[in-house]
Amino acid sequence: MKPKKRVEQAYRLARERYAALGVDTEKALKTLSQLRVSLHCWQGDDVRGFEGGADAPGGGLAVTGAYPGRARTPDELRADAEKAFSLIPGRHRFNLHAIYGEFGGRKVERNEIELRHFRGWIDWARQLGIGLDFNPTCFAHPLAADGFTLSHPDRSIRRYWIEHCQRCREIGAAMGRALGTPTVTNVWIPDGMKDLPADRRGPRERLLEALDEVFRKPLSPRHNLDAVEGKLFGIGAESYTVGMHEFYLGYAVSRGKLLCLDAGHYHPTESLADKISSVLCYVPGILLHVSRGVRWDSDHVVIVNDDLLAIAQELVRGRYLDRTHLGLDFFDASINRVAAWVIGARSLLRALLFALLEPWPQYQALERAGDYTGRLALMEEAKHLPWGAVWDYYCAQQGVPVGEAWLEEVRAYENQVLRQRQ
């Protein structure tokens, strides 16, 4: 039997098995096809950007490994991203940091960046029919070297970063307007201290005031959506993080912003999945940065594990997909960078499909009836349903390689393109 026929036959059997439990696989696949995952530019070049000069990202970030083929130019990064998109089912998005503008070899201060520096990215996204997301870059800069940006005690330095973030919002809105889909512009800063601070209050009050300045100008949500992102700690900021989760939760609630939840930005014993229904009682939506921390915020490539499945299940069972913006956030230079994108995106989509295929309305009905025995039993049985056959069918339907066949294309791209880069 030909591979395509085997995939279709396996899907028919799986569809029948799911139908017996009241699950419509076609409906699940339609929902999955409408979801957009934003691939992060910084996986393709190890968070270096195109300003020139610095090899290390700074700001508490660290990228390990020296796998050959790092993108060195915008064209190379776009080519790599296109290859990744071609191996991921569905139509998705691309997420840019401000240091990834096309500056023509000239030094441009970050508080002077303009839309023209990102025209090439907009044209590329339009050709692919995808949306763009955007981020101010408040690290890897002399004015961030002491560990403070928007909360800096020096008013002039604080003003510099405020102006940078203001310009990024304007650029994000222009991207959204040009592409017909709103850009999520996410503000994250690395501000904090390595050792115990004597004043925790001052930097947070300065950050609050600075953020209000950043967001002072109203922008249409049809073009730009503002998000703020907290963190537990960073390298060199182990003892005190100005913008911790509680700070930004309060800010997002009081200012009506999206709250960014990053899977690596919490204590290892905390469940990000459990936070989703809590914060969405109060904020209009969330930006979800899907990462995989190993012992700390180490930004490993996303895989299908219990943490990822729990996040996907919470989004589906809570009916939060329409209030969630999905994005990847990791950087691994120890493996093929294109493969890292593909593994991460396919894993997230697989986990979402698993959650969409669960008979979760039955779980909730059993729970409401107080039948916790039946709830647990059905949850366990559902883990062994043939969801892999549905995933294979979806990939074939979307015109991307089924199973591990995508790796052959990445290997060929590595030999023909990546290894030619010096």
Catalytic residue among 40, 223, 289, 325: 289
For 38, 96, 185, 208, 324, the CA distances from 219, given in Å and listed in that order, are 21, 19, 11, 19, 20
β-pairing verdict for 131-135 and 240-241: unpaired
Alpha-helical segments (H) within 180-270: 201-214, 245-255
Catalytic residue among 231, 245, 257, 325: 231
In the residue annotation, 270 being an active-site residue is answered as no
Location of structure tokens 């939060």: 320
Phi and psi at residue 279, to the nearest 5°:
-70, -30
| Distance, CA of 131 to CA of 93 (rounded, Å) | 5
Inter-residue contact 241 to 232 (CB < 8 Å) = yes
Location of structure tokens 């469940």: 271
In the residue annotation, 152 being an active-site residue is answered as no
Inter-residue contact 161 to 135 (CB < 8 Å) = no
- Torsion angle defined by CA atoms of residues 129, 134, 139 and 143, in that order, rounded to the nearest 10 degrees: 120
Catalytic residue among 42, 121, 124, 188: 188
| Distance, CA of 390 to CA of 376 (rounded, Å) | 24
In the residue annotation, 329 being an active-site residue is answered as yes
Location of structure tokens 């403070």: 148
DSSP SS3 for 417: coil
Catalytic residue among 45, 51, 226, 297: 297
Catalytic residue among 45, 191, 329, 414: 329
| Distance, CA of 55 to CA of 110 (rounded, Å) | 18
In the residue annotation, 97 being an active-site residue is answered as no
In the residue annotation, 229 being an active-site residue is answered as yes
DSSP SS3 for 136: coil
Catalytic residue among 51, 226, 299, 314: 299
In the residue annotation, 246 being an active-site residue is answered as no
CA 38 to chain CA centroid, nearest Å: 6
In the residue annotation, 80 being an active-site residue is answered as no
- Torsion angle defined by CA atoms of residues 47, 49, 78 and 67, in that order, rounded to the nearest 10 degrees: -50
Quote the tokens at residue 308. Answer: 């990822």
Inter-residue contact 187 to 165 (CB < 8 Å) = yes
Catalytic residue among 191, 229, 307, 332: 229
In the residue annotation, 387 being an active-site residue is answered as no
For 96, 99, 105, 148, 176, the CA distances from 171, given in Å and listed in that order, are 11, 13, 20, 24, 9
In the residue annotation, 306 being an active-site residue is answered as no
Inter-residue contact 403 to 65 (CB < 8 Å) = no
- E strands within 3-67? 37-40
Catalytic residue among 245, 257, 265, 275: 265
Give the residue numbers annotated as catalytic, written as ranges.
188, 229, 231, 262, 265, 289, 297, 299, 329
